[in-house]
Amino acid sequence: MILVEDVHKRYKTEHGVGKWVLQGINLTIPSHVNVGLIGVNGAGKSTLLRIIGGADYATKGRVVRLCRVSWPMGGGGLEGTLSGRQNAKFVCRVQGRHNDLADRLAFIQDFSELGEAFDEPLSTYSTGMRSRLQFALSLAFEFDVYISDEVTSAGDAAFRQKAAGAFKDMANRAGVIMVSHDESTLKQFCQSGIWITEGKAHWFDQIDDALRAYKDGMTK
């Protein structure tokens, strides 16, 4: 279970502090429920996802994680001056995987399909390559809840198909919280939905109800 308690978020700008992206978000996300975050561009979906995953922090409020939560797949959090292999080694050691380090690295390199680029600095990677590495890193470890930001859209058609299959297997054994702009992807993987609008979050037990509220809100 994940508790989001009175979470507010705004960022500093060159003119001072910006407007509130999130305002007073309160959510209880049950275990083993796959949830889609829905909203227009700029609504704060990815911001809330990063805060839930611990890659960003609330300006006010807190997130209580009563389970093992992955970092956001498809997001940042890796060091650009290090190679894919060096980043993977660091993550493996942080996760306490010293004894099977070689096997984990082999899996990450194989699944990400980065080839020789696995030993090149991340600063040379495209956005898709970074997403593939993040996805492979997350698959290499067991979490109770996986955080995903448009990860199934990374790479070419063959890789997207492979990623979707792996993501489905993962979603069948653990909870997922995901952002996607593709309605069919949300319906494929998610049971419940969170519609984010005007800095507020609205929970729906059924993803179809969340999508309906989102569409209705766009017509008003």
Could you tell me the pTM of the whole model? 0.81
User: By mean pLDDT, which of 166-170, 174-178, 199-203 is the weakest?
Assistant: 166-170
Sort 41 into a burial class: Cβ within 10 Å, 0-12 / 13-18 / 19+: exposed
Residues 170 and 80: their CA atoms lie apart, in Å, by 27
DSSP H helical segments within the chain, as ranges?
A: 45-53, 84-94, 101-112, 127-139, 157-173, 183-189, 207-219
Whole-angstrom CA distances from 71 to 34, 141, 184, 219 are 16, 11, 24, 34
To the nearest 5 percent, what fractions of the chain are helix, strand and coil?
A: 40, 25, 30
Where along the chain do its domains lie? Answer: 80-141
**Which contiguous run of DSSP H or E holds residue 176?**
strand 175-179
Q: Which of 104-108, 155-159, 178-182, 208-212 has the highest mean pLDDT?
A: 208-212
In this predicted model, what pLDDT tens digit does every residue of 19-58 receive, in sequence order?
899 999 999 998 889 999 999 988 999 899 989 988 889 9
